[in-house]
Structure 1
Amino acid sequence: MEENHGAGPFFHGTRVALSPGEELVAGHGSNFQRGRTSNNVYFTSLITTAAWGAQLASALHGDDESGRVYEVEPLGPFEDDPNVTDKKFPGNPTRSYRSRHPLRVVAEVVDWPRHPPEAVEEMLAGLARLREQGLDVIDD
Structure 2
Amino acid sequence: MGARTPVTYDHHDHVPGPYLHGTRVELSPGDELVAGCSSNFQEGRVSNHIYFTTLESTAAWGAQLAAALAGVEGRGHVYVVEPTGPFEDDPNVTDKRFPGNPTESYRTRAPLRVLHEVDDWHEHPPEALAAMLDSLAKLREQGLDVIED
When normalised by structure 1's length, the TM-score is: 0.97
1:100 to 105, 109, 113: 109
Which residue of the other structure, out of 120, 131, 135, is the alignment partner of 2:140? 131
- What is the number of residues matched between the two proteins? 140
Provide the identity percentage: 69
For residue 69 of structure 1, what is the aligned residue in structure 2?
A: 78
Question: Any unmatched runs of 5+ in structure 2?
Answer: 1-8
Q: CA RMSD in A?
A: 0.8
Gaps of 5+ in 1: none
Give the structure with higher Rg (CA): 2
**Alignment partner, residue 51 of structure 2:** 42
Instruction: State which of 17, 20, 35 in structure 2 corresponds to 1:8.
Output: 17
1:6–1:95: 8 Å Cα contact kept in structure 2?
no
Structure 1 distance, partners of 2:78, 2:56, is 8
What TM-score, normalized to structure 2?
A: 0.92
Describe the superposition over 1:96-132 as per-residue Cα deviations: whole angstroms up to 9, x where unpaired: 0000000000000001001000000000000000000
Q: Offset of 1:41 from its aligned partner?
A: 0.2
Aligned to 1:109: 118
In the alignment, is residue 86 of structure 1 matched against residue 67 of structure 2? Answer: no
Partner secondary structure for residue 117 of structure 2: strand
Structure 1 outlier segments of 4+, above 4 Å: none
Q: Secondary structure at the match of 1:60?
A: helix
